[in-house]
Amino acid sequence: MSTALKVESNREKLRINGLHAFYGESHILHGIDMTVNQGELVTLLGRNGSGRSTTLRAIMNMVGKRTGSIVINGRETLNMASHKIAHLGIGFCPEERGIFSSLNVEENLMLPPKVRSEGMSVEEIYDMFPNLAERRKSQGTKLSGGEQQMLAMARILRTGANILLLDEITEGLAPVIVQKLAEVLTKLKERGLTTILVEQNFHFAAPIADRHYLMEHGHMVAEIEAHELKEKTELLNTYLGV
């Protein structure tokens, strides 16, 4: 009974209520609401500038100012410093990938401290991304775009993070690498990781996601379940122009 209760209360990993975010004078997010449950893969869809990346950065407290509420694993994080939020089990993969040029591949991989105990081992990671093993002594930014993306992903998997915030991970990558990333995300989902994916490539996101949030001008305009995609194609076309 008590375990059942625990599972029940653990289901909700992230809840955002009435979130406003600002960069200096610019008001970017206008009171968004969203919920993500344990093991879900949720996407944020929308045009460039609709506030999807800002949503991820606001969760990490990397924007100028935030108001509203962001509850992670049952803890209100609005007044928490960025590094404390990470230690709630969040792994952030920024749009620009954030590979450090003064560090080699291995140093980049080992850089983020462990935030939870059950992270992937370095062997598992090199097994999943063999290219990184081959180039472990190369300067981080000397890797190809695809390899850098693998490294940016691998880096947060080693930390044991179980909520992943992934910003445009397929941007500018070859189809074969996008395919590889889809496989990786599916594997992570099987392991029970929770993922919020900001994605431009709808064909990449559609088959692997459970739900989609549609954003426009800093507002959440729709929430679409995976099985509703067919009937809501028109709505998607309106907002995404795909």
Report the interface residues with another protein, using CB under 8 A.
Answer: 60, 62, 81-83, 85-87, 92, 94, 98, 100-103, 107, 110-113, 115, 156, 159
Query: Smallest distance, Å, CB 204 to another protein?
Result: 24
Residues 6+ apart with CB under 8 A from 2: none
Nearer to another protein, 196 or 214 (CB): 196
Query: Smallest distance, Å, CB 37 to another protein?
Result: 23
Query: Smallest distance, Å, CB 155 to another protein?
Result: 8
Task: Return the H-helix or E-strand segment holding 93.
Answer: strand 90-93
Query: Smallest distance, Å, CB 21 to another protein?
Result: 15
Q: HSE of 170 in the Cβ direction (CA atoms, 13 Å)?
A: 21
Nearer to another protein, 50 or 159 (CB): 159
Nearer to another protein, 73 or 201 (CB): 73
Q: Are 62 and 86 in contact (CB under 8 A)?
A: no
Query: Smallest distance, Å, CB 61 to another protein?
Result: 8
Q: β-pairing, 90-93 with 163-167?
A: parallel
Nearer to another protein, 57 or 180 (CB): 57
Instruction: Give the integer Cα–Cα distance in Å for 140 and 149.
Output: 11
Nearer to another protein, 31 or 98 (CB): 98
Instruction: Give the integer Cα–Cα distance in Å for 157 and 151.
Output: 10
Instruction: Give the integer Cα–Cα distance in Å for 50 and 216.
Output: 5
Q: List, in sequence order, every beta strand (DSSP E) within the chain.
A: 12-23, 26-37, 41-45, 65-72, 75-76, 90-93, 163-167, 194-198, 211-216, 219-225
Nearer to another protein, 111 or 242 (CB): 111
Query: Smallest distance, Å, CB 91 to another protein?
Result: 8
